[in-house]
Structure 1
Amino acid sequence: MSSLKGSRIQKMRLPVHTRKGPLEVPSPSEKDWSKDDKEDYVLKDPDQELDSLPQPYRMISKLVDLLFDRSWEVIEEREAAREAERSRTQPTIYPPLVESKLNNMPKCMAVSQDYVFIGEANGFSIYNVYNAKQIGAWEKLKVDVTSIWATDLGSEVLIASLDEMGIIRLFYYYKESLFLIKAINEVDDVSKQTICIKMTVSLGGDFAAFLLQGVGDVWLDVYKLPKESWLKEVEYPQLTANPKKKVRQLQLNAIDSTTPDNLETDVYACFKGDVKLSLPVYIMKIKPPKPITGTTFKSPLEVFAKIEDCCGLGSGQNHFIKDSQWEQQEAIFKGSYRKFLDGEWKEEPPSMATFHFLLPSSVISMPAEAKGPSGVACVLGIHWTGSHNFFFYSLHRTLKDKADPESVWPCAAPIAVSNLSCCGSYLVLACEDGVLTLWDLSKGFPLGVVALPKGCFCQSIHFLKYFLVHKGENMFPELPVKSKMKCVVLCTDTSLHLVEAEGTRGPTTRVLAERPVKHVNETIRAVAPVPALPGMVLIFSQDGCARLMDVAKSQVVCAFAPPRPCQLVVPWSPVFVVSLHHPCFLLRGDHPDEIEHKDNSRNIQNSIFCFSFETCPLLKNISGNCVLSQSDLTCHAAFRQTLPLEKRCERFLQERFQNLEKSAMKEQEHWTRLRRYSLLLQKREPR
């Protein structure tokens, strides 16, 4: 009897290999019911059914199943991505119009008028935009030219070249003659050599500013350029050397065995080194703002008695705070954030500056004797790295005058990026918190403040020439536009946004391109507006293509790429230049041979590709008629305010009469609805 009980108890015991943890209760749905309809089905122990293999083979089986499931998921994702890639509409890719082969690798490019200036080893070369023929060159250096700028002065061109040693030189190009004006920061003592970091020339070429860096110090030198004297001096040259000695004409393109076949060799350029031009006039030196320190004044009365003027009060510049107050605030700060301040402090890099030459406007009140011509810059606007303030310095001063700002614009956050439109009428200040402030300098009032989406911070700002969408096409208005601007903002996450502002209306933002997640090769590396095409921008992607985007439709119209694949360095920094007056752009080709064998002694074929928008069939309609006539412009809703008052009233009355019929129909609909509702309420009322 006892043995029978023991056997029954043993049969009723739970399995030894029971699963630990809470039991999963199946959901009461039909899809989870067992599909085994066999009558002889016997519920087995789930552990015995799944774990029939002994250890460690059960664990190996589970790992293999898990690996198989994950591999299958990856295969499905890749197959879905390939299917989506096949279904994507790829833009039409156009090849370059001309390929110019060079012996040296081009470092930089600049375009002005009909000339292209290419920085190379030992100097720079000059080419024609139309036929890509070399006009001349200047090869007097032992180092490479890393940056080059070109400014249109009318019939002349002002050229500035920066070499690897940080020395910047000014050149004057007039009627295929090249003149060296001055090396701005070249000194005889190498230990006192300064480095030029950035430069800017004012609209019209009347002023120039150079950001220089010395031993632990950064400052800005501002010069006035005597362009009227240069024009007289090149037309009637005065030789500083022997008058009987003729100006020697240099053959700059010598024929040798390494010259490519398609490179012009019978071109002669004239470098007139014996002609000395007037030197730029040094105006002022601007240093970064000093850190705020305590004052020696004992009372506010003493402050107001000895202060010279109230310029800068309330803007964060002129502080009169005692040392004891600063020490008290510093002790409170360190006590509150001690755990964050215990780490090692990194040495801060030298402060950098961004500066713009501003035209006369109502933003800054200038003295009557300091006012100049309307088209000549009169103010230099500058902001330093990490600074909340935008400073304004008058250009109508001498070297003896103290370089103090005439006005200061404080911002809520440090200014990260700023840009001035080509016409000099609009200014955009982008702060580090992603907020943009849009200014209409000609009218003297802000167009508005707009914030980028969360997580987006400004990397660069590019102004677009104002355009209108008329009958589905982008067109430039024939009449001048006032208080209306459009700009494209490239963010640090490589997303692209369009910012628009008009008069007193609040600015708006629109996403043009999201950050690519699946297609990393389409990451945006650079953006450039196309002045010849309304509403078009060039987007240079990581894959080496330049895509032309219509910002009005947020669509890619077409793409441009070299004829053979390029091996790009990650991250790729494209070397390109877009012509302001011609519908074309130039792009340097980066080839595998150039990257793999650039340190070898043999010469390498480097290329610059010229792409023309006129040769693209998809752009013929855009480039053929891109100006909106005055008759169509007056009918456009955006420009009706330019009509006389009588015309505007007449159009307003006509629109009101046209809307009367629509209003009458809407009133009849509302009246019918009210009658039905009243009848329904009457039926529901108790009798």
Structure 2
Amino acid sequence: MKTRMSRCSTKSTPEPEVLGACKTETPRGETLTLQLSVSAQLPQGTNCLACSEDGMYLSLGHSRGLSVWCASSLSCVAEWLQDTLEITNIQMCRMAEAVYLLSTVDDMGVARVFIYHSERIHLLSVINVMENVNKRSICLAFELSEGGLYGVASLKCSGDVWLEIYHFPTQAWLKELEKESSNNQDQNLSGNVDLKWSPVEVSKIKPPKTPAGLTLQSPDKVLNKTDFYMHCLSLDIETEGRPFSEQSGKTNAANGSYSLTEFFYRHCTHHFLLPCGQFPGDNKTNSNRGSPVAVCVWWSGSHNLLQYSLKNKPDVEPIPDMIWPNAQEILCSAVSTCTRFIAVGLKGAMLCVWDRQSGAPLAVVVVSAADVFSKVQFLDDGPESADDCQSLTAAEVSLLLVCKSGIIHRVSVGRGKQPFTVQLTERPKDNRDLITVTASVPFLQGLLLMVQRNGKIVLQDVTCQTNVCFLIPTASHLITTPCSPVYTLSTKQQTLFIQGDPKPSCSSLSEGESQSQLFTFHFGDSDIVKKFIISLPDSSQLQTVSCVNLEESCNLYLEQRALSVDERHKSVTDTWKRLQETALALQQECSRSAAS
């Protein structure tokens, strides 16, 4: 294992294309570069990397299983190995003191749940057991909630896609883990004792469907339906002569009506939601502080966000507690750190930000770009204080919109405020310059970490639209698969961990250096980046207020309205002033036109 200190270099001569990409210059006109540190040699075939929320451990998925490393010493503390098992996705969360839950997905689409404690890894459950190879389900995505109380997996089998919600018996697992540890310490027992872990409770969410035999006439008659849920689902039907999917029904050409059967969706996207105090499931006291109470789901081709409570019984098919309808088809989505705000990127270059506290859109913005959104994410989305998160008059929220063409926009919105949009990047002339990763760094004020297809790593200041610096590996290595780099950010340690591979052209490497390396960069060690570091509030302070009944919710709303009367009055005055100025300008233009 080799260790080097991160260093700042203003006199080194990087590759020409790297110099051309960086616009930030020192007073002497020299480009700033920050070199990544070679910290450790990675296991062969490392595919994924994750860091625990407390910054204590790293988890690695590779071609023989998974490993857990100490994040400070970068030494392996535990392994779970199995030949021919290749882990392609991994996540790690802290379940209790010194106890961590891990979720994995392998290259065959099998999802598993592990627990790590006292330098040992135990397999708790295989999510989708392959009982029949011909009818096996494939896991497309698997995510753990913070604290490890819930898990959500997207599964596919024979063309059908559905979502499964898992309620993990964390208290039972902790007791069983304690029993297992005591058995291992008992010298009278010979060999390991097989322990049967408590089963996981599962509830399934299927794509929404309309009742069999229901016939919808023309779109204007759909608007007369009294069932709001059915009305929102009807918006997901294409009205240009055919249904949304060719498998969803047949079009009656005579009268233009649709005979609807079950919809066929290709994939779904989900987000965990914390208590927000206004909707079903939010008003119940949660014994696990910071644990989610609902999950928000949308299916490809849909206009609607569907909110499901996590308190549903496993044997009852969940139904949505809340529907967030949108005017256009959803392309991408994101939630803020406190999950009060939900942003959806829609067709037609439209962005909608929903406020769960008020139950209404915070803003609807049409971005002036003839492009298609591929990603939306929040920037600096944490409220400055708990009062900001509880207030119905929310402070300004900033978002990042990534387009398929490579153009990136920053959008700032707020209640009663004019939306502000600025374009951060131009459409790249070369496909190698296309940005593949855009990650906000929570502990760096206004900075964005970007990875390009050519392997360049840039820290950009989104406020002044300049590159602060770029990070480069050693001369003998390249960033692994820049289109999908293997990396993770540790907020607690303020460190970037990223995988690098040796250059094919470099033949003078030792045996250890010829394998994949783990590169690190400690942001606090650089004077260039240190000035951007901010202290983050405790996540427990970001919990929104919870109302136990409708009366308290109304009282909160009226209280916030009273507190915001001056701000709303100023907003109305400014709007009226702008209208008068616009009307006057139009009158003057008409007078000049008439005179000419």
TM-score normalised to the size of structure 2?
0.72
Q: Please tell me whether residue 397 in structure 1 is matched to residue 312 in structure 2.
A: yes
> Pick from 314, 318, 323: which aligns with 2:231?
314
Per-residue deviation, 1:398: 1.4
Does structure 2 conserve the Cα–Cα contact (< 8 Å) formed by 1:98 and 1:132?
A: no
The DSSP-based 3-state class of the residue aligned with 2:176 is helix
1:197 corresponds to: 140
Percent identity over the alignment? Answer: 26
Letter in 2 for 1:312: Y
Q: Please tell me whether residue 621 in structure 1 is matched to residue 561 in structure 2.
A: no
Choose 433-442 or 156-165, whichever is displaced more: 433-442
1:145 corresponds to: 87
Letter in 1 for 2:204: K
Q: Deviations over 1:558-597 (max 9, x none)?
A: 111111255679873222111122211111113334999x
Per-residue deviation, 1:452: 2.2
Per-residue deviation, 1:391: 1.3
Closer, same or farther in 2 for the Cα pair 1:285/1:478, shift >3 Å? closer
Closer, same or farther in 2 for the Cα pair 1:425/1:174, shift >3 Å? farther
Give the structure with the higher percent helix.
Answer: 1
Q: Please tell me whether residue 444 in structure 1 is matched to residue 386 in structure 2.
A: no
Pairs within 5 Å for 1:40-439 = 89=25, 91-112=31-52, 113-155=55-97, 156-237=99-180, 246=189, 274-282=194-202, 284-290=203-209, 294-295=213-214, 310=227, 312-316=229-233, 330-331=253-254, 351-362=266-277, 364-366=279-281, 372=286, 375-439=290-354
Closer, same or farther in 2 for the Cα pair 1:466/1:567, shift >3 Å? closer
Letter in 2 for 1:101: Q
Q: Please tell me whether residue 507 in structure 1 is matched to residue 409 in structure 2.
A: no
Per-residue deviation, 1:145: 0.7
The DSSP-based 3-state class of the residue aligned with 2:520 is strand
Q: Please tell me whether residue 481 in structure 1 is matched to residue 388 in structure 2.
A: yes
Per-residue deviation, 1:464: 2.5
Does structure 2 conserve the Cα–Cα contact (< 8 Å) formed by 1:121 and 1:144?
A: yes
Per-residue deviation, 1:402: 3.0
Letter in 2 for 1:446: P
Per-residue deviation, 1:197: 0.3
Per-residue deviation, 1:489: 2.0
The DSSP-based 3-state class of the residue aligned with 1:453 is coil
The DSSP-based 3-state class of the residue aligned with 1:229 is helix
Consecutive unaligned residues of structure 2, counting only runs of 5 or more, are 1-16, 217-224, 237-242, 244-248, 258-262, 538-559, 571-596
Does structure 2 conserve the Cα–Cα contact (< 8 Å) formed by 1:180 and 1:273?
A: no
Per-residue deviation, 1:328: 7.2
1:563 corresponds to: 474
The DSSP-based 3-state class of the residue aligned with 1:178 is strand
Q: Deviations over 1:236-262 (max 9, x none)?
A: 4388999876586xxxxxxxxxxxxxx
1:668 corresponds to: none
Does structure 2 conserve the Cα–Cα contact (< 8 Å) formed by 1:179 and 1:273?
A: no
> How many corresponding residue pairs?
488
1:495 corresponds to: 407
Give the structure with the higher percent strand.
Answer: 2
Letter in 2 for 1:213: K
Q: Deviations over 1:580-626 (max 9, x none)?
A: 22211111113334999xxxxx9951112111112222123333x65
2:490 corresponds to: 579
Q: Deviations over 1:440-498 (max 9, x none)?
A: 2234332101122222322122222348xxxxxxxx94665332322222211112221
C-alpha distance in 2, partners of 1:165/1:82?
A: 38
C-alpha distance in 2, partners of 1:184/1:459?
A: 30
2:594 corresponds to: none
The DSSP-based 3-state class of the residue aligned with 2:443 is coil
C-alpha distance in 1, partners of 2:185/2:518?
A: 41
Q: Deviations over 1:528-554 (max 9, x none)?
A: 111221221101112312111112221
Higher relative contact order (CA 8 A, sep 6+): 2
Does structure 2 conserve the Cα–Cα contact (< 8 Å) formed by 1:593 and 1:604?
A: no
Q: Deviations over 1:23-82 (max 9, x none)?
A: xxxxxxxxxxxxxxxxxxxxxxxxxxxxxxxxxxxxxxxxxxxxxxxxxxxxxxxxxx99
Letter in 2 for 1:420: V
CA RMSD of aligned residues (A): 4.1
Letter in 1 for 2:411: V
Letter in 1 for 2:412: E
Closer, same or farther in 2 for the Cα pair 1:182/1:607, shift >3 Å? same
C-alpha distance in 1, partners of 2:23/2:451?
A: 23
Per-residue deviation, 1:507: 3.1
Does structure 2 conserve the Cα–Cα contact (< 8 Å) formed by 1:352 and 1:384?
A: yes
Closer, same or farther in 2 for the Cα pair 1:480/1:127, shift >3 Å? farther
Letter in 2 for 1:316: L
C-alpha distance in 1, partners of 2:162/2:22?
A: 55
Closer, same or farther in 2 for the Cα pair 1:439/1:296, shift >3 Å? closer
The DSSP-based 3-state class of the residue aligned with 2:158 is coil
C-alpha distance in 2, partners of 1:626/1:148?
A: 28
Consecutive unaligned residues of structure 1, counting only runs of 5 or more, are 1-80, 249-271, 298-306, 320-324, 335-347, 468-475, 597-601, 629-641, 653-687
Does structure 1 conserve the Cα–Cα contact (< 8 Å) formed by 2:43 and 2:516?
A: yes
C-alpha distance in 2, partners of 1:477/1:463?
A: 15
> Pick from 598, 602, 609: which aligns with 2:519?
609
Does structure 2 conserve the Cα–Cα contact (< 8 Å) formed by 1:392 and 1:408?
A: yes
Does structure 2 conserve the Cα–Cα contact (< 8 Å) formed by 1:426 and 1:438?
A: yes
C-alpha distance in 2, partners of 1:201/1:488?
A: 24
Does structure 2 conserve the Cα–Cα contact (< 8 Å) formed by 1:197 and 1:210?
A: yes
C-alpha distance in 2, partners of 1:310/1:278?
A: 41
Per-residue deviation, 1:183: 0.7
Per-residue deviation, 1:176: 2.8
C-alpha distance in 1, partners of 2:421/2:215?
A: 49
Does structure 2 conserve the Cα–Cα contact (< 8 Å) formed by 1:91 and 1:556?
A: no
Closer, same or farther in 2 for the Cα pair 1:479/1:382, shift >3 Å? closer
C-alpha distance in 1, partners of 2:334/2:19?
A: 42
Per-residue deviation, 1:109: 0.7
C-alpha distance in 1, partners of 2:187/2:23?
A: 74
Does structure 1 conserve the Cα–Cα contact (< 8 Å) formed by 2:502 and 2:515?
A: no
Choose 576-585 or 479-488, whichever is displaced more: 479-488
Letter in 2 for 1:137: E
The DSSP-based 3-state class of the residue aligned with 1:493 is coil
Does structure 2 conserve the Cα–Cα contact (< 8 Å) formed by 1:212 and 1:219?
A: yes
Letter in 1 for 2:197: L
Does structure 1 conserve the Cα–Cα contact (< 8 Å) formed by 2:378 and 2:400?
A: yes
C-alpha distance in 1, partners of 2:182/2:136?
A: 30
The DSSP-based 3-state class of the residue aligned with 1:237 is helix
C-alpha distance in 1, partners of 2:479/2:426?
A: 23
Letter in 1 for 2:331: A
C-alpha distance in 1, partners of 2:513/2:468?
A: 38
Q: Deviations over 1:152-179 (max 9, x none)?
A: 3353321111111111110112343322
1:663 corresponds to: none
Per-residue deviation, 1:423: 2.2
Does structure 2 conserve the Cα–Cα contact (< 8 Å) formed by 1:98 and 1:610?
A: yes
Pairs within 5 Å for 1:639-658 = none
The DSSP-based 3-state class of the residue aligned with 1:230 is helix
Does structure 2 conserve the Cα–Cα contact (< 8 Å) formed by 1:239 and 1:275?
A: no
Q: Deviations over 1:208-263 (max 9, x none)?
A: 11111112211111111122222233234388999876586xxxxxxxxxxxxxxx
Closer, same or farther in 2 for the Cα pair 1:627/1:246, shift >3 Å? same
C-alpha distance in 1, partners of 2:409/2:473?
A: 27
